[in-house]
Amino acid sequence: MARKVTLQRKLGFTALAWFLGCIMFFPIFWMILTSFKTEIDAIASPPLVFFQATWENYQLVLNQSDYLKYFGNSVVIAGGSTILALLVAIPSAWSMAFSPTRHTKDVLMWMLSTKMMPPVGVLVPIYLMLKYMGLLDTRTGLVIIMMLINLPIIIWMLYTYFKEIPSEILEASRMDGAVLWKEIVYVLLPMALPGIASTLLLNLILAWNEAFWTLNLTAANAAPLTAFIASYSSPEGLFWSKLSAASTMAIAPIMVLGWFSQKQLVTGLTFGAVK
């Protein structure tokens, strides 16, 4: 009897999970589908599920705009900001996790609170600051901004992973004569590697997909793939299937990365919950 109930539950949860998964994936699926339609098919009503597939949109998009330039900018901005943020976040999460003070919790809350503010609230000051520093529409400027934007989340994630590491092991390394950087490089980082890897991946994804700052602070030179997509919703009208093709090309690299690292991502994100 008991077994039957659990089996039903299992089936129920599995069905629910698939259902939710399908709902979440549907827009992406539809986008990919649309990218193979002609512009006429794309706006057909009722929507077409069966149609004559074409590569035309991809060819057009590739010919019209410099995909590789946008792609390169995305790589530099997402990768650079994530790595820079990790370099700052690892020591700060270390100090908050292993030598907390009375105010550590407050600092963490304060950092998180910056994420609660609508970004548009600081758009003008940041725009002006970048302008005066001559960093508008430069990769450097964007790397710095994206690093600052994602820093709170990176520190929070690392902090929770570091908290799981028994401080006695770090103390043992101190007794064994390790100075601070050796303690971090030889003991802390290898032990926190799953957590650091998933932080890195998650932030690559966040930074890759970030649109507000990248659209507002770039023009021709430093524009990443988000701007590449946006350029297809132009004043001359919407080109659905070209827009879809551009979007598909923009998210493809990060989807492939996510697909291959999903195991790492899941273990990292549930770190500590298991065991």
CB atoms within 10 A of CB 164: 13
The only residue of 3, 68, 168, 237 in contact with other proteins, by rule CB under 8 A = 168
> Dihedral sign, CA of 193, 195, 201, 206?
negative
Measured CA to CA, the distance from residue 50 to residue 37 in angstroms comes to: 10
Among 5, 68, 116, 179, binds other proteins (CB under 8 A): 179
Give, as ranges, the residues between 60 and 119 that touch other proteins (CB under 8 A). 102
H/E segment holding residue 51: none
Residue 147 binds other proteins (CB under 8 A): no
- CB-wise, 22 or 185, nearer to other proteins? 185
User: What is the 3-class SS of 107-151, one letter each residue?
Assistant: HHHHHHHCCCCCHHHHHHHHHHHHHHCCCCCCHHHHHHHHHHHHH
136 contributes a contact to other proteins by CB under 8 A: no
Q: Sketch the per residue contact string, 190 through 219, with other proteins: x for CB under 8 A, - otherwise.
A: xx----------------------------
| Stretch in the footprint of other proteins (CB under 8 A) among 34-42, 129-137, 152-160, 178-186 | 178-186
Residues in the chain: 275
Instruction: Kindly state whether residue 177 participates in binding other proteins, applying the rule CB under 8 A.
Output: yes
Interface stretch with other proteins, choices 77-85, 147-155, 161-169, 263-271 (CB under 8 A): 161-169
Distance CA 154, CA 146 (A): 12
Q: What is the rounded distance in angstroms from the CA atom of residue 193 to the CA atom of residue 173?
A: 17
Tell me how many residues contact other proteins (CB under 8 A): 18
Residues that bind other proteins (CB under 8 A): 102, 166, 168-169, 171-179, 182, 186-187, 190-191
